[in-house]
């Protein structure tokens, strides 16, 4: 049985050569955006299209949310830069195997979406990715 796509995506981001520097459980999370730390990433499984009939080919989607700091003149830009790095790490990724699942292709489904500030004034950005995988 394969992992949820969110778990593999977190591992891909942790090991990416883009210099993201985020760590699962410290400032990168699956399925939750905790109150702390300010600057963090959350990856959610968001469904997708139905799998192909008669063979194991799946089309899940994941959403990545980046939250920035509540203070500082560059908080907005820093959060934007982080989601740009996420996009660089994932968009167009293809032909890789993670935890037994073959990622045929990962594609951004839109451009970066500004979600506005959260209740503490921290900037939020979102990006959705369509995934083609088999296992």
Q: Is residue 90 a part of any domain in this protein?
A: yes
Q: Picking from 40-44, 69-73, 99-103, which range would have the lowest pLDDT averaged per residue?
A: 69-73
95/125 Cα distance (integer angstroms): 27
pTM listed for this prediction: 0.95
pLDDT tens by residue, 7-17? 999 999 999 98
Q: Is residue 45 a part of any domain in this protein?
A: no
Q: Is residue 135 a part of any domain in this protein?
A: yes
Q: How high is the mean pLDDT of the chain? A: 94
17/95 Cα distance (integer angstroms): 17
Nearest to 20 by CA among 107, 87, 92: 87
* Domain count of the fold of the chain: 1
Structure tokens at 121: 């004034």
Domain that holds residue 135: 1-16+51-66+73-103+112-135
pLDDT exceeds 80 at position 55: no
DSSP annotation of 14 reads H
Rounded alpha-carbon distances, angstroms, from residue 88 to 17, 25, 129: 10, 22, 12
pLDDT tens by residue, 63-80? 999 999 998 899 999 999
């Amino acid at each position: 049985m394969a992992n949820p796509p969110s778990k593999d995506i977190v591992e891909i981001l942790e090991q990416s050569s883009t210099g993201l520097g985020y760590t699962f459980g410290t400032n990168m999370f699956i399925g939750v955006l905790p109150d702390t730390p300010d600057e963090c990433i959350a990856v959610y499984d968001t469904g997708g299209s139905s799998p192909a009939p008669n063979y194991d080919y799946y089309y899940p989607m994941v959403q990545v949310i980046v939250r920035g700091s509540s203070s500082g003149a560059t908080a907005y830009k820093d959060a934007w830069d982080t989601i740009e790095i996420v996009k660089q790490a994932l968009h167009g990724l293809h032909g890789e195997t993670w935890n037994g699942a073959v990622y045929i292709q990962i594609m951004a489904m839109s451009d970066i979406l500004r979600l506005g500030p959260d209740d503490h004034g921290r900037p939020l950005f979102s990006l959705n990715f369509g995934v083609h995988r088999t296992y």
